[in-house]
Structure 1
């Protein structure tokens, strides 16, 4: 892709599973998450009121089946903005409550030789 650049973030060894790191790249704060050995990049910006979305806790989602039974799924795959509790899917950036309306930008994370890079 023309115009894309890779920026070093950290090493695989320094980013444990279920952890994340926030880095400043080209005037953007980008969080890089390790979800079961897969890496995802998410802008540290809440579309609700410009809060630091990725500085909140990791959560899952409550899902109701056809019989009305509730279950807790995808534990650790959502980040909850610490300002007002808006939750975002780390993999897609979509807001948990209103996925068709609100989304935080995501970034591709590339692993090369044990190093992690974000591509912009």
Structure 2
């Protein structure tokens, strides 16, 4: 079932629009032209993850080299800094096999719809 969240223009730049659907807190993000919906619970210690930063991260690289990437694609937990992909919900770089729950999103006529089964 798809739930209408509101207008795309209501999502604050660089932050989540946090809303509730059927008692579940969801963060809606608009980054680089893409819209993401994430359950607002970190699987590590149940922090409100959608209050964390959307950022990039250090990528695996050769010794003595530092490569930064994935800008605007990483959600960092505000409590302990665990990082997750906004696209898939997967924890980055093997820190855990836990994932944050993500939901499919459709934007139609400027309105955001989140699909929740």
TM-score range, shorter chain: 0.7 to 0.9
Per-residue CA deviations over 1:41-90 (Å, capped at 9, x if unaligned) read: 11110111111111111221112434652111111211111122211111
Q: What secondary structure, in the 3-state scheme, does the structure 1 residue paired with 2:19 have?
A: strand
Structure 1 unaligned spans of 5+: none
Q: What secondary structure, in the 3-state scheme, does the structure 2 residue paired with 1:101 have?
A: coil
Cα RMSD (Å): 1.9
Q: TM-score, normalised by structure 1?
A: 0.85
Count of paired positions: 116
Displacement over 3 Å in runs of 4+: 16-19, 64-68
Structure 2 unaligned spans of 5+: none
**Matching residue of 2:58:** 62
**Matching residue of 1:48:** 44
